[in-house]
A and B are shown apart, each in its own frame.
Chain A
Amino acid sequence: MATTTTTAPGQPTTLVGKAALEVDDRLIVAGPVRRTLNKVFPDHWSFLLGEIALYAFVVLLLSGTYLTFFYDATMTEVTYQGSYAAMRGIEMSAAFESSLDISFDVRGGLLIRQMHHWAALLFVAAICVHLLRIFFTGAFRRPRETNWFIGVALLVLAMLEGFAGYTLPDDLLSGTGLRIFSAVFLSIPVIGTWVYFTVFGGDFPGELIIGRLYILHVLIIPAILLALIALHLLILVKQKHTQFPGAGRTEHNVVGNRLFPTFAGKATALFFIVFGLCAALGGLVQINPFWLFGPYNPAQVSAGSQPDWYIGFVDGGSRIFPPWEIVLWGYHIPPVLWGALGIPGVMFTLLALYPIIERKLTGDTASHHLLQRPRDVPVRTSLGMMAITAYVVLWISGGNDVIAEKFDISLNAMTWFGRIGFLVLPPIAYWITYRICLGLERHDREVLEHGIETGVIRRLPSGEFIEVHQPLGPVDEHGHGQLAYGGASVPKKMNQVGGARRAIKGFFSPIEEPAEVQRQAELEARGLESEQASRELTGSGRPSEGGRPSEGGRPQQEPRD
């Protein structure tokens, strides 16, 4: 075979090259590796939101593994003798004792514990923001419905994982949350008491629940999360990433950076920044100081008890739901069922089914790889804002006692605000969003038709004053622009189409020769005509990018649809 002759052309001569050949001879990976390195990723800041969630998950796995070396998930009653003087001699569960030990007796343990908690908050937050990006740009449309379902499942699992996690210290705050959860289990019609006894292994709290939550938290849910994340990414790679419309971007291509080295460099940078943010927060910003709350005691609670942020809306739903207990032939359905299970259940069901609902309503069953601007789909955008408003009302209601106290508002008024607001504010949000979308759409069309307002006022011979408009492209005999709207952002300021000169680089003192920059800019402007044909695909076509002063302030080529 050819590999046996060392003199053949193209044979590696360097040590690394020879080693690589040895590897490929055995594993035959050169082809797949090249395909991976060459994979093109579109470039937009909003495509990094999901990555933030992914990196937060990595931080969670690393810091969480560390914590398991010290945590003891048993509910055996012990008397604390550790180094935190304020708790010495107090009866508590071994779980709480080991949590105190991580915080006070393990060198650097508090940092890792708080880093873990912050990363968890960031994880769910990043998932939510990522989900909103997907929703408002229509990235969930065919063929990506599967990844939408997986994403919704990931969000629900992440919330459960977070709940299980912050319950593990078995402190007064989390124990109170667990008790509320037990009431939710109990409220399920017909099988509620059975579910409750099964989950707790008897009456609340029993001696099993912390151990069970622990195995859920460190094994079962993370394993499912990991599998679903892997599937989520595999499907993403297989289907290729969506991109915003722009010059050269079609339904059948992806314009951006290759994985190696640009995208890989940026992604790694983001990982380090996310990791660093979690570490900085974990060290500098106290979170869940359970040594101030004390061990769980069913007879105690502190005012202003709040769950982690992502459970807040469930709590809010329980707070504002009216005291309606349904009694049928002596059987009861308590209101906590609707507030804590019903509202989130409906919300997540609608969320998961949204791609199907939209497909049914619009009849749009085509595949889409180009994203939409939220303004171009006013109904969806307004529905999204409506859902966000309802969520925020619930979320605010979850902390209505804190707001009532801090702002000196009647607590009952806050509850009524939540009850009325939950019903009234979402439709108002829908209406306002719809009007804003239409206004933005019309303004885009107006600029395309009449050009950009230059701020230059000209006096006509007749004495009339007019503002000069800069057309974005060819105009017809009436001076109206002939460009059609292409779903991409329309420049609305002269600076976005090269109205400003490129800034000279240098923070304190210029590091470029102003004259040289000027000369280059002129050269570029002159070279533009000849280059136009080849540049058709290269400019992102989104004038807000192309015309950035840092990119030379080249006069923007005519945007095309």
Chain B
Amino acid sequence: MTTTEHGPGSAGGDDTSGPLHGGPDAEHSPEQLAAMDRTELDRLGARYDGVEVLHVDPVPPPGSPLDKKNTRLVTLWFALAGLFAVAFLVIYAGSGWFLPSWEWEIGGSTWSAIYTPLLGATMGASLICIGVGLVLYVKKLLPHETAVQDKHDGSHFDRVTTGATLMSGLDNSGLPRRKVLLGTIGVMGAAFGAMLIAPLGGLIKNPNTGNPLGTTPWAEGVRLLREDGTPVRPGDQQVGSLETVFPAVEGGNRAADAAVMLIRLRPDQMATLVTAEGREDYGYGDYIAYSKICTHAGCPVSLYEQETSRILCPCHQSQFDVTQGAKPVFGPATRSLPQLPITVDDEGYFRARGDFPEPVGPSFWNIGRLD
């Protein structure tokens, strides 16, 4: 059917629609298609998609005992799914209304303790029932069909023609011979790309301003405080024990590199104590203090085994010997835990005599070259 267009934009004359979709529509008239039944149409379409249905295992005939049994089975699973969904809704919305409150308190009701498990169980059961029902539907109520579909390799025709279109477009643009233009576009592209990502430079922070990696809140005269803020006196601790202390500065107990282990050595540990040269006065009496931050990956080393004088990091099992300057004796750590020089002030409380002599925590590229 043709029409004659006179509207704006029309070139005038006959505006004829081309062949509808080529192949199939030309080969099969509507009358022919109308004469075919559904299965035939299905197979015909499939053939156009390169699919051949080879074999269909029929389902049990409708009304047969097996068919009824299978239908009952699938219905049962979907019904169960619905029931569980309703149970979920009742538990979810009913808690605190006609059921006990869902809000959990220590020593609260049993209902609040099983509220989340019940929700999970009902929701999970509902979803799994739908899944099982669908599996059974496919397996027991649908005909088992074996189909085979052709797999095609790439088309040589497509490759050649597409390549020709691309290359002739490139030729027409003249870019390959306009060398200066091409070069300029290259440079422009690079500069443009750099401009787009340049704002990310705002993320970059200089790690070398003020030596943050080499210093901690500890300084000359800073007191050693417990987590709760109380100062520590010699004799507070039992012999052989370990206590975590923090610098008496604002936020000292939350700083990432400030935690220190104050250790009171036993007499026999004192006898075997090895101190590094120039650090003989870092301890105070039978007290010594080491950084708690592991030199391997920065975890707090916390597990102190008194009998062996070893401190164990629970993250990667590095072990440090407190009687040998907290030297690593096993595991992946390579550097000793830095020792904090301590003394006692006029009021009889522990205080630091300065910052750690070396950086605290994990090693890094220029750790040996910090000021």
Contact = CB atoms under 8 A, between A and B. Distances in A.
A108 B213 CA distance: 44
Contact of A332 (B104, B302, B364): B364
A269 B134 contact: yes
B298 A180 contact: yes
A280 B144 CA distance: 32
B149 A297 contact: no
A324 B363 CA distance: 12
B369 A184 contact: no
B124 A415 contact: no
B369 A330 contact: yes
Interface in A402-428: 411-412, 415
A318 B332 contact: yes
Contact of A108 (B92, B125, B257, B317): B92
B70 to A, nearest CB: 10
Contacts of B152: 252
B339 interface: no
Contact of A180 (B1, B118, B297): B297
A319 B149 contact: no
Interface stretch (B174-182, B203-211, B278-286): B203-211
Contacts of B148: 40, 248, 253-255, 537
A304 interface: yes
B87 interface: no
B120 A111 contact: yes
B334 A334 contact: yes
Interface in A290-324: 297-305, 315, 318-324
Given A253-B149, A258-B51, A334-B362, A197 B207 contact: yes
Contacts of B315: 176, 180, 301, 305, 315
A140 to B, nearest CB: 18
A324 B334 CA distance: 7
B335 interface: yes
Contacts of A534: 55
A273 interface: yes
Interface in A272-295: 272-273, 275-284
Nearest to B28: A10
A85 B116 contact: no
Interface string B187-217: 0000000000000000111111000110000
A487 interface: no
B34 A9 contact: yes
Contacts, number: 328
A349 interface: no
B125 A280 contact: yes
B271 interface: no
Contact of B124 (A202, A284, A538): A284
Nearest to B150: A253
Nearest to B68: A511
Contact of B332 (A252, A269, A277, A335): A335
Interface string B27-53: 000110110000000000110110101
Given A110-B116, A190-B365, A269-B134, A319 B332 contact: yes
A193 B31 contact: no
Interface string A532-543: 001101101000
Q: Most B CB atoms within 10 A — which of A40, A257, A324?
A: A40
Nearest to B91: A108
A176 B181 CA distance: 55
A87 to B, nearest CB: 11
Interface stretch (B135-143, B161-169, B228-236, B347-355): B135-143
A198 B300 contact: no
A198 B203 contact: yes
B314 A304 contact: yes
A193 to B, nearest CB: 4
A272 B134 contact: yes
B317 A272 contact: no
B119 A111 contact: yes
Interface string B293-327: 10011111011000000001011111000000000
Interface string A74-85: 000000000111
Q: Most B CB atoms within 10 A — which of A191, A192, A283, A318?
A: A283
B331 A319 contact: yes
B244 A299 contact: yes
Contacts of B365: 188-193, 331-333
Contacts of B1: 1-2
Interface stretch (A31-39, A65-73, A155-163, A357-365): A31-39
A449 interface: no
A321 B332 contact: yes
A455 interface: no
Interface string A492-520: 00000000000001000001100000000
Nearest to B55: A538
A46 interface: no
A271 B131 contact: yes
A141 interface: no
Interface in A136-194: 176, 179-180, 182-184, 186-194
A193 B300 contact: no
Interface string A387-406: 00000000000001100000
B15 interface: no
A10 to B, nearest CB: 4
B45 A34 contact: yes
Nearest to B363: A334
Contacts of B297: 179-180, 183-184, 318, 336, 340
B320 to A, nearest CB: 11
B334 A196 contact: no
A299 B259 contact: yes
Interface in B107-165: 116-121, 123-135, 137-138, 142, 144-153
Contacts of B328: 323
Nearest to B213: A193
Contact of A194 (B207, B302, B334): B207
Nearest to B96: A107
Given A197-B206, A336-B297, A40 B149 contact: yes
A48 to B, nearest CB: 11
Given A176-B299, A325-B334, A415-B330, A269 B49 contact: no
B151 A269 contact: no
A437 interface: no
B182 to A, nearest CB: 30
B151 A253 contact: yes
A265 interface: yes
Interface string A249-270: 0011111111001100110111
Nearest to A268: B134
B256 A204 contact: yes
Nearest to A414: B317
A327 interface: yes
5 closest A-B pairs (Cβ-Cβ)? A283-B120, A280-B124, A276-B127, A299-B259, A272-B131
Interface of A: 1-2, 8-10, 31, 34-35, 38-40, 83-86, 104-105, 107-108, 110-111, 114-115, 176, 179-180, 182-184, 186-194, 196-198, 201-205, 240, 248, 251-258, 261-262, 265-266, 268-273, 275-284, 297-305, 315, 318-325, 327, 330-336, 339-340, 367, 369, 400-401, 411-412, 415, 505, 511-512, 534-535, 537-538, 540
25 contacts: A1-B17, A38-B46, A194-B207, A198-B203, A203-B256, A252-B151, A255-B146, A265-B142, A266-B135, A266-B138, A298-B300, A300-B300, A301-B314, A318-B296, A318-B316, A319-B316, A323-B318, A323-B331, A325-B335, A330-B369, A332-B363, A334-B296, A334-B363, A535-B55, A537-B55
Interface of B: 1, 17, 21, 30-31, 33-34, 45-46, 48-49, 51, 53-55, 65-66, 69, 92, 95, 102-106, 116-121, 123-135, 137-138, 142, 144-153, 203-208, 212-213, 227, 244, 246, 253-259, 292-293, 296-300, 302-303, 312, 314-318, 328, 330-335, 361-369
Given A197-B207, A332-B367, 7 more contacts: A34-B45, A38-B45, A183-B361, A333-B365, A334-B363, A335-B296, A339-B332
